[in-house]
């Protein structure tokens, strides 16, 4: 039985769900994959719990209970300063970046230097300027499946196409469940401001919905897909449409939510114009080897993108082999359970590669 020693960098919704899945699937993973996952460190912004031989079961259960009750790891006995995580960086260890932080790159690079593997749920290191991000795309011990499409096998499918010698010509899709929901509401003639507020109430958006409405999260996913395909694009190679004007960027969240009523007429007119032309609005990303675009796009009502409903994701790969009809992946593009399961799959795959 091969042992995978695992570091959790970030222990919020996804991290705690991943730990629960690790504990619940131990027997299945051992029998099917021949590996045993041993959590040796849990870290959040308050500190780290660390045991080189593996954290005791009672410590892991206590950490899960702490997260469930809204507490940080510092509330538990034995927590160490966050910098102590560097002691856990040893050859063969896998570090999972489960944060959404732009500040994890130094520890990620230190992990690679120490001979660790990396599994990234954090998109930001991969969407940094190419010269900073390229180490993660080119290193053989880095995996990043859930950064695009959560639990959908988007990166795995793209790698399959590349590994079998296919030539990718374009990648297109609806890559945000939040903006997919917004478009579905507009389609039903719900005012833009009401749709945004409703999406926030349902938890589809970030607490500040501008983080979704800016289009930057979709742009990061498009960049990650392009770079995985071997196209070293940068942010300036993408044309990104924000779904709110620049002058609303400096408002508080409450002020923003009040101010967007003035956008209702504009988006109603765009919906009506698209409908009268036989189209429907979707927030679409498209990348090619040269450039990309991300924005609200009229698509035929009877097309695959036009028939997409609610917060589902849709990814289409146009290749030398899949030319007239693209290879398509559809499904839920968010959710802590499917995201954590995708991370777990990457951990298992990376751990098994060490056996081979």
Using CA atoms of 298, 301, 303, 305 in order, give the dihedral in degrees to the nearest 10: 60
Answer yes or no: 109 catalytic.
no
Q: Kindly state whether residues 233 and 348 are assigned to the same domain.
A: no
Q: What is the pLDDT of residue 278?
A: 95
Dihedral over Cα of 17, 18, 21, 22: its sign: negative
Do residues 253 and 139 share a domain?
no
**Does the residue 227 lie in any domain?**
yes
Tell me: do 70 and 94 sit in the same domain: yes
Has residue 175 been placed in a domain? yes
Helix (H, G, I), strand (E, B) or coil at 241: coil
Answer yes or no: do 218 and 242 share one domain: yes
Beta strand 117-120 pairing with 142-143? parallel
Is 153 part of any domain?
no
CATH code for the domain in which residue 134 is found: 3.40.50.720
- Closest C-alpha to 332, from 207, 178, 199, 212: 178
The pLDDT value given to residue 108:
98
CA distance linking residue 306 with residue 183, whole number of Å: 10
**CA 343 to each of CA 56, 92, 192, 202: distance values in angstroms, whole numbers, following the listed order:** 22, 17, 34, 25
| Residues 117 and 172 occupy one common structural domain | no
Has residue 256 been placed in a domain? yes
Range of the domain at 184: 168-332
How far, in Å, CA of 264 to CA of 248, rounded? 14
Q: Is residue 266 part of a domain?
A: yes
Residue 160 within a domain? no
Question: Are 300 and 351 members of one domain?
Answer: no
- What is the C-alpha radius of gyration for the chain, rounded to an integer number of angstroms? 21
- 140 and 174 fall within a common domain: no
- What gap in Å lies between CA 254 and CA 259, rounded to an integer? 9
Strands 117-120 and 94-97, how do they pair?
parallel
Q: What is the CATH number of the domain that holds 301?
A: 3.30.360.10
Q: One of 109, 123, 141, 221 is an active-site residue; which one?
A: 221
Residue 355's pLDDT is 54
Please tell me whether residues 178 and 311 are part of one structural domain.
yes
234 and 139 within one domain: no
Is residue 162, in this structure, part of any structural domain at all?
no
Say yes or no: 140 and 181 in one domain.
no
Residue 161 lies in a domain: no
For the chain, what is the domain count?
Answer: 2
Burial of 312 (0-12, 13-18, 19+ CB in 10 A): middle
Quick one: 328 and 343 in the same domain? no
Q: What's this model's pTM, rounded to 2 decimal places?
A: 0.94
Token pair of 167 as six digits: 């030539």
Checking DSSP bridges between strand 168-174 and strand 142-143, what pairing results, if any?
unpaired
Question: How many other C-beta atoms can be found within 10 angstroms of the C-beta atom of residue 4?
Answer: 24
- 247 plus 312 within the same structural domain: yes
> Mean pLDDT by 10-residue block, N- to C-terminus, for the chain (356 residues)?
94 96 95 95 97 96 96 96 95 96 96 97 97 97 95 95 98 94 94 95 89 96 98 97 96 96 97 96 97 97 88 94 95 87 96 72
């Amino acid at each position: 039985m091969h042992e995978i020693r695992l570091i959790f960098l970030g222990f919020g919704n996804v991290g705690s769900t991943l730990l629960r899945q690790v504990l619940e699937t131990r027997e299945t993973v051992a029998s099917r994959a021949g590996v045993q996952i041993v959590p040796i460190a849990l870290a959040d912004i308050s500190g780290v719990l660390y045991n080189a031989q593996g954290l005791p079961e009672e410590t892991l259960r206590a950490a899960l209970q702490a997260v469930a009750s809204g507490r940080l790891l510092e509330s538990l006995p034995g927590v160490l300063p966050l910098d102590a995580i560097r002691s856990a960086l040893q050859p063969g260890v896998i570090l999972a970046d489960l944060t959404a932080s732009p500040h994890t790159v130094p520890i990620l690079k230190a992990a690679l230097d120490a001979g660790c593997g990396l599994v990234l749920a954090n998109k930001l290191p991969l969407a940094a300027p190419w010269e900073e991000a390229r180490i993660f795309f080119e290193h053989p011990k880095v995996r990043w499946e859930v950064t695009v499409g959560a639990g959908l096998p988007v990166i795995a499918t793209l790698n399959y196409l590349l590994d079998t010698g296919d030539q990718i010509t374009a990648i297109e899709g609806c890559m945000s469940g939040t903006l997919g929901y917004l478009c579905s509401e507009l389609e039903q003639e719900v005012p833009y401001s009401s749709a945004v507020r409703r999406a926030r109430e349902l938890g589809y958006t970030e607490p500040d919905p501008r983080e979704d409405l800016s289009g930057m999260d979709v742009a990061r996913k498009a960049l990650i897909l392009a770079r995985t395909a071997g196209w070293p694009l940068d942010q300036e190679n993408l044309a990104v449409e924000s779904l709110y004007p620049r002058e609303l960027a400096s408002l508080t969240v409450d002020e923003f939510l009040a101010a967007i009523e003035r956008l209702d007429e504009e988006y109603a007119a765009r919906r009506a114009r698209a409908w009268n032309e036989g189209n429907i609005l979707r927030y679409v990303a498209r990348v090619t080897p040269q450039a990309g675009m991300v924005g609200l796009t009229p698509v035929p009502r009877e097309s695959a993108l036009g028939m997409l409903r609610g917060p589902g994701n849709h990814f289409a790969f146009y290749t030398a082999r899949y030319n007239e009809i693209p290879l398509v992946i559809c499904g839920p593009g968010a959710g802590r359970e499917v995201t954590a399961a995708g991370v777990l799959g990457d951990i298992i795959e990376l751990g098994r590669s060490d056996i081979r």
